[in-house]
Amino acid sequence: MKSFYPEEAMKSGKFTAAFAVIALFAFVCPQKVPAQGLFGGISGVVTDSSGAVVPGATVRVTNVDTDITTVWKTNSAGLYNATSLNPGTYKVEAEAKGFKKALAQDILVQVNTRPKVDLTLRVGQASETIEVTAENTPILQTQQTDLGQTIGSRELEQLPTQSGSGRSPYNFLALAAGVSQQTGCTGSGTGNGGVGACGNSGNVRISGSRPRNDDNLLDGTSITPPVFGGQDVQPTVEAIGEFRIEQNSMSAEYGKAGGAIVIAETKSGTNNFHGSAYEYVRNQRLDAKDYFVDPGKPKNPLTYNEFGGSIGGPVLRGKLFFFTDYEAIRQHGSQPNAGVTVPDAAFRRGDLSGLCPEGFSNGVCNNSAHQIHFQSMAVLNNMITSISPVSQALLAVWPTSTNNVSPGFASTTINEPSSNSINRFNPRIDWNLSQDNHIFGALHTDYSVGYSYNIIVGPAGRQIGRGRNYASTLGWTHTFTPTTLNDFRFGFTHRIGDRMPFGAGAESPATFGISGVPNCLSSVPDTAGGTKCGTPGVSIDGYTSIANGGMLYEPASTFHFGDTLTKTVGRHNIKLGGQADHYSIDNYQPNGVVGAFNFHGKQTGNAFADFLFGVMSNSSLQVQNAFVSSRAWSYSMFFQDDFKLTPRLTLNLGLRYQYDQSFHEIHHGDAFFDPCAIYFSGKNSSCTPHWEQFGVNGTPDTTLDPSRLQFEPRIGLAWNPRGGLVLRAGYGIMHPGFVGHGRAGDGQPGPNLLATSTFTAGTQWDGPLPSVVSPNPTAITAPIPINTNVSFQSWAPRKQTPAYTQLWNLTIEKQFGPKTVAQIGYVGSKGTHLPINYAYNICQQTPQSTAQEPNPFDFSGSYPSSSPYCPAAAAAVNAGAGFNAVYCCLTINPGWWGLSSSIYHSLQAQFDHRFSHGFAMLANFTWSKLIDDSSSDWGGFWSLDALGQDFYNRKAERSVSAGDIPLRFTVAPIVELPFGPGKKWLNSGVAGNVLGGWRVSGIYTISAGTPFGITDNSYGFCNGAGVLEDRPTVIGNPASISGSARGPKLWFNNQAFDFSGTCPGPGLIPPAACCDVTKAFGNAPRFFSNIRNPGVDNLDFSLQKDFRIPMGEQTRLTFSADFFNLPNHPQFAEPNSDPTTGYHPESPGKRATGFGTIGSTSSLPNRIIQFGLHLYF
């Protein structure tokens, strides 16, 4: 594969966009109200032949598919404004006494667009009509200042799309300028220019926004869940009529996002019945092998089927319409897990004599180091005859192997099967109750269940993951007068996060003989009413563990209420409205619900012998007896005035206000640890660290005080100096939506909700487990005494400055002919007070903070890891013992949540040629730079670099962002070949039928890679905390390798770094127990701008043929062959950033062998082929 450098690509011209550009200004008005994202509109001016406005003219706007007509009147300025129109094709008629009718046909209204249709009335009889020709039908938006890209039904149907969870409209995010994907995306999607399934919940950035920081509207209702972002449901491609990405400049109606809104609108029924049926298939035989897989190795089995259908039509013609669809996905496969280490047959029956090759004398090994002891007695001949019943039960399900490697150890390969089933259903009803009242309702369901296995291929090793998500919307549009209209929306979304331990529903610790483990909650599904919560987790040194993760069951719901009133007054189109959202999250997440039992050989000298006797080295168990139920409201209101200063100049003015409550736990189950914040040198020694229970004894019931200052001004203008040319400009402020509970040092489930029990070395698991703590949710006391180990990092001050984003743009758009528009412009944004998990105000290096002091009271807990000069982070503190930095460890050190920032600048260009003469094309180009000091996702949950190197020098963390992709170009053409009936050549006969109906389409993306960062904590921590990330000193040019010398074997110059620095740290030299004081902070940036991860060079291609079926004019059968990554280019993942993978033999301070090499591909795999049949009627 040819190496890819952005600067080389620029020189070669590979990034040259395929369209001519003229000038444009754009306005920024970002916001979100569920009432509005669904509709479009038509507005204009009615004049007579002299150019004088015609007040009081009647304007009829008719949807040609449903024959639904709305009637409007021009005001004193001759203006009409038809709002709340469903996307579709319209005709517009204007009439007035003494004039002929004027008619404009084929007006395309898209989601959140408002084409300007001016009509001229000429003197004559009303029975006569003057029609506007198609060439004069506008596609240029001359009254709006938003930036965005609309993906219509043709693109959704005919461009190639596929992902691990089905064909998704969100895979088309890459077709908009400004969209990029941050390295670290874990989605399994394929194709679509590098976004793939990550468009759903992964690290997609839009014009500098943080991942998971944008809002998603479906049928006018937000489907973005709080805290995690993404989408509650995944609508099918079949159900979506249009899909639009709004960014940077939006009206004050929209908010709760970092700068982008993704709007999807489902299809509605029409006066004619229409529908479809389809199936798409994949299997491993069609797919190419991964670049790094042995060519002789067989492919992993895979069968993938996606099938479904849709139907829509009238219930009452012109009045009541319906549409519905159903889609199912069935996927089955397996993945070999090679090198699984299991006990051999001798060890399984208790024969450990192989450990003593020297032989035995009187039953005792002649080499004492190889002798097994139990309870201070030698085990004769290392033969364990009394095996723990619990251990025997676990051995019965443990894999076996005859491939012995060494005494006690055998190796095997486990073929771990997996399956996934998804069912989606999307019904919708539209009711034109009267000319003044329109009601619609939509429901979207997304149910899934998946099965996977660990090394136990059977019920004890099966893991179940379920998704039960749905979203619903009810809308009512009422027209009071021809100039006054109201939209009301009610929405409800519900999702369930569901992750079960292995063996849930089939096994429990009790079925293996472990008693004393409490049941999990009976309301959790797949647990037999809480009695079958999973197989216990077992780890034995030297063997592949029977690992088991935690349990997660998290129902979450959101109620949305929104209302928008639209009023046309003279030249002003005014909108005002509000929104109220109620969020509820019920979390059940005990991470050790079935126990984690570890065997290290501390009791017998051999880990497996410990296991056979059933005596553990250390173990833990976590019990949660109630949900952590968090609730919050969010309110917003807005005012928007689109003011036509002149017929060619529109000024957009808006103001939005947003108020977000902080989450509170309705049972007062959340708590935070109060370390007292005192000096301990004989002062105020009566203070005892304790838990504070939220909402009890005057303690606030939330983690943060909500801000009441979230005002968001919006201003923009659109100038149409002459027909076909628009200049736009805009500026706005947006506050992100409800994400997180307050990140640094926030509340956590209190001891009355969640308790961890630990079992000391030597505990026997055949009897009841001792001292299992089972929390009592009703036992709320304040303060709660500290009776278990406590670990805390920092404390979050209640008053936090809310995060916000400033957005601006300046763009030019030009229409070329009736079907083509192009735009280019400058787009920028600045993020302020962005979230980051960081203890900013840590204890400084002072004699007081580094001196030893006695523990002034009976405190049992752990050192806060955010204090870098506590000598052993997270080590237990014993009562009365002397230790360093009591002042540091037990003083409140605020963790400021919003102290990160970002800045984004870009040149963005878009080209849109709508379908004409068998050809359509979308293209976009982005040249940008994104700088920040933390590249985490919005809430810090999946942070890439939220920590840093030096507590005292946060400025050193500022660099190009992990999401910086300076160059990206995407083009998506659809081409009907010019053969067959209705085409230029071979339009009749056998040849025409064979060669006719063929179509090709594709999405080609070329993109620079994200920046690369290097850290090394192997030699000690100059920061002293052991939790941050030290960086090397740059001593050469990391980017000196280029061209053909650059590849997977070496991606950058790995000899350009020195990891042996000796500069002293700042302030006082920290104690040697904290860190190696001879080491120093390196000068390497957080991310290098001149060495980057591999970019994207990907082509997804589709070949399709339509077969006409004589069952109606619209009936056809389409065959498609989709090729994702058609050239089979390996899309490489990040290079190895671990400098400890090999030392350079001549220079111990430099790294070599694995460092800087690439050993895997990204989430974009090698070529995948998908076949499909699609019936349209």
Q: pLDDT tens across 315-342, in order?
A: 999 899 999 999 999 999 998 888 899 9
Instruction: Say how many C-beta atoms besides its own lie within 10 A of residue 818's C-beta.
Output: 15
Distance CA 320, CA 594 (A): 54
User: What is the structure's pLDDT at 565?
Assistant: 95
Determine if residue 359 is left, alpha or beta; phi over 0 gives left, psi from -120 to 50 gives alpha, anything else beta: left
Asked whether residue 353 carries a pLDDT value surpassing 90, the answer given is yes
User: What is the structure's pLDDT at 1018?
Assistant: 55
Mean pLDDT on 75-85: 84
Is residue 234 within 8 Å of 446, Cβ to Cβ?
Answer: yes
Return the minimum-mean-pLDDT range out of 848-857, 921-930, 984-993, 1002-1011: 848-857
Distance CA 656, CA 636 (A): 7
Most confident range (mean pLDDT) of 399-413, 540-554, 676-690 is 399-413
Residue in the structure block whose two tokens are 């619900």: 593
Residue in the structure block whose two tokens are 């601006």: 808
User: What is the structure's pLDDT at 896?
Assistant: 58
Asked whether residue 166 carries a pLDDT value surpassing 80, the answer given is no
Q: Is the dihedral of CA 183, 184, 190, 196 positive or negative?
A: negative
Q: At 956, is the secondary structure helix, strand, or coil? A: helix
Q: How confident is residue 1, by pLDDT bands cut at 50, 70 and 90? A: very low
Burial of 376 (0-12, 13-18, 19+ CB in 10 A): exposed
Asked whether residue 25 carries a pLDDT value surpassing 60, the answer given is no
Q: How confident is residue 1137, by pLDDT bands cut at 50, 70 and 90? A: confident
Mean pLDDT on 747-766: 82
User: What is the structure's pLDDT at 115?
Assistant: 85
Most confident range (mean pLDDT) of 100-109, 118-127, 519-528 is 519-528
What are the pLDDT digits (tens) for 577-610?
A: 999 999 999 989 998 899 999 999 999 999 999 9
- Compute the C-alpha angle 353/355/356, nearest 5°: 75
Q: Give strand ranges (E) for 459-604.
A: 462-481, 484-499, 537-540, 552-569, 572-587, 596-599
What are the pLDDT digits (tens) for 235-247?
A: 999 999 888 888 8
Mean pLDDT on 894-902: 72
Asked whether residue 975 carries a pLDDT value surpassing 50, the answer given is yes
Concatenate the DSSP letters of all residues of 166-224 into one string: ---GGGGGGGSTTEEE-TT-------GGGTTTHHHHS-EEETTPPTT-SEEEETTEE-P
Of 195, 190, 170, 294, the C-alpha closest to 1168 is 190
User: What is the structure's pLDDT at 108?
Assistant: 86
434 or 860: whose pLDDT is higher?
434
What are the pLDDT digits (tens) for 1062-1073?
A: 443 333 344 444
According to DSSP, the β-strands at 260-266 and 215-218 are parallel
Mean pLDDT on 618-644: 91
Asked whether residue 791 carries a pLDDT value surpassing 70, the answer given is no
Distance CA 937, CA 941 (A): 7
Mean pLDDT on 443-453: 93
| DSSP classification of residue 702 | B
Of 430, 104, 64, the C-alpha closest to 266 is 430
User: What is the structure's pLDDT at 112?
Assistant: 76
User: What is the structure's pLDDT at 1028?
Assistant: 55
918 or 680: whose pLDDT is higher?
918
Mean pLDDT on 209-230: 84
What are the pLDDT digits (tens) for 53-73?
A: 888 889 999 998 888 888 888
Asked whether residue 679 carries a pLDDT value surpassing 60, the answer given is no
Give the HSE-up count for residue 556: Cα atoms under 13 Å, Cβ half-sphere.
24
519 or 868: whose pLDDT is higher?
519
User: What is the structure's pLDDT at 129?
Assistant: 62
User: What is the structure's pLDDT at 133?
Assistant: 52
Distance CA 452, CA 466 (A): 12
Distance CA 995, CA 985 (A): 10
C-alpha to C-alpha distances, 974 to 266, 969, 1003, 1103, nearest whole angstrom: 23, 17, 9, 10
User: What is the structure's pLDDT at 1029?
Assistant: 67
Asked whether residue 1080 carries a pLDDT value surpassing 50, the answer given is yes
Q: How confident is residue 782, by pLDDT bands cut at 50, 70 and 90? A: low
Of 715, 707, 745, 720, the C-alpha closest to 733 is 715
C-alpha to C-alpha distances, 1108 to 612, 915, 997, 1117, 1120, nearest whole angstrom: 71, 20, 9, 6, 15
- Phi, psi (5° rounding) for residue 849? -80, -15
Tokens of residue 634, six digits: 């969010």
Residue in the structure block whose two tokens are 């089995």: 301
According to DSSP, the β-strands at 129-132 and 101-109 are parallel
| DSSP classification of residue 391 | H
Return the minimum-mean-pLDDT range out of 39-48, 286-295, 884-893: 884-893
Mean pLDDT on 989-1018: 85
User: What is the structure's pLDDT at 459?
Assistant: 92
Of 1006, 1004, 1000, the C-alpha closest to 971 is 1004
Mean pLDDT on 374-391: 94
Return the minimum-mean-pLDDT range out of 2-16, 570-584, 729-743: 2-16
Q: How confident is residue 747, by pLDDT bands cut at 50, 70 and 90? A: low
Residue in the structure block whose two tokens are 């004398």: 361
Mean pLDDT on 274-284: 94
- Compute the C-alpha angle 611/616/619, nearest 5°: 130
Average of per-residue pLDDT values in the chain = 80
Largest interatomic CA distance in the chain: 124
User: What is the structure's pLDDT at 72?
Assistant: 87
User: What is the structure's pLDDT at 1163?
Assistant: 76
User: What is the structure's pLDDT at 144?
Assistant: 76
Distance CA 72, CA 87 (A): 18
Mean pLDDT on 507-511: 94
User: Which residues, including other chains, have CB under 8 Å from residue 434's CB and lie 6 or more apart?
Assistant: none
Is residue 586 within 8 Å of 552, Cβ to Cβ?
Answer: no
What value does the CA radius of gyration of the chain take, rounded to a whole number of Å? 33
Mean pLDDT on 830-834: 91
According to DSSP, the β-strands at 1033-1034 and 618-624 are unpaired
User: What is the structure's pLDDT at 797?
Assistant: 66
Q: Note the residue count of the chain.
A: 1177
Percent of the chain residues past pLDDT 70, beyond the cut: 79
Distance CA 53, CA 647 (A): 11
Amino acid at 532: K
Concatenate the DSSP letters of all residues of 874-943 into one string: TPEEPTT-EEE-HHHHTS--B--S--EEEEEEEEEEEEEEEEETTEEEEEEEEEEEEEES----TTSTT-
Asked whether residue 1061 carries a pLDDT value surpassing 60, the answer given is no
Is residue 26 within 8 Å of 811, Cβ to Cβ?
Answer: yes
Tokens of residue 123, six digits: 């003197």
User: Which residues, including other chains, have CB under 8 Å from residue 998's CB and lie 6 or more apart?
Assistant: 976, 977, 979, 980, 1103, 1104, 1105
Mean pLDDT on 484-505: 92
Q: Is the dihedral of CA 158, 163, 165, 169 positive or negative?
A: negative
Is residue 1075 within 8 Å of 1021, Cβ to Cβ?
Answer: yes
What are the pLDDT digits (tens) for 839-868?
A: 555 544 444 444 444 444 444 333 333 334
What are the pLDDT digits (tens) for 691-742?
A: 677 787 777 888 778 889 999 999 999 999 988 899 999 999 999 876 544 4
Distance CA 283, CA 252 (A): 48
Mean pLDDT on 1164-1175: 92
Distance CA 597, CA 619 (A): 5
Q: Which domains, and CATH codes, for the chain?
A: 40-140 (2.60.40.1120), 149-275 (2.170.130.10), 339-412 (no CATH), 943-976+984-1176 (no CATH)
785 or 1174: whose pLDDT is higher?
1174
User: What is the structure's pLDDT at 746?
Assistant: 47
Asked whether residue 796 carries a pLDDT value surpassing 50, the answer given is yes
Q: At 626, is the secondary structure helix, strand, or coil? A: coil
1061 or 802: whose pLDDT is higher?
802
User: What is the structure's pLDDT at 131?
Assistant: 66
Is residue 314 within 8 Å of 271, Cβ to Cβ?
Answer: yes
Residue in the structure block whose two tokens are 């957009």: 652
786 or 701: whose pLDDT is higher?
701
User: Which residues, including other chains, have CB under 8 Å from residue 1158's CB and lie 6 or more apart?
Assistant: 1047, 1048, 1051, 1094, 1132, 1133, 1134, 1135, 1136
Most confident range (mean pLDDT) of 138-152, 789-803, 933-947 is 138-152
Distance CA 263, CA 221 (A): 9
Asked whether residue 32 carries a pLDDT value surpassing 60, the answer given is no
Mean pLDDT on 1049-1070: 65
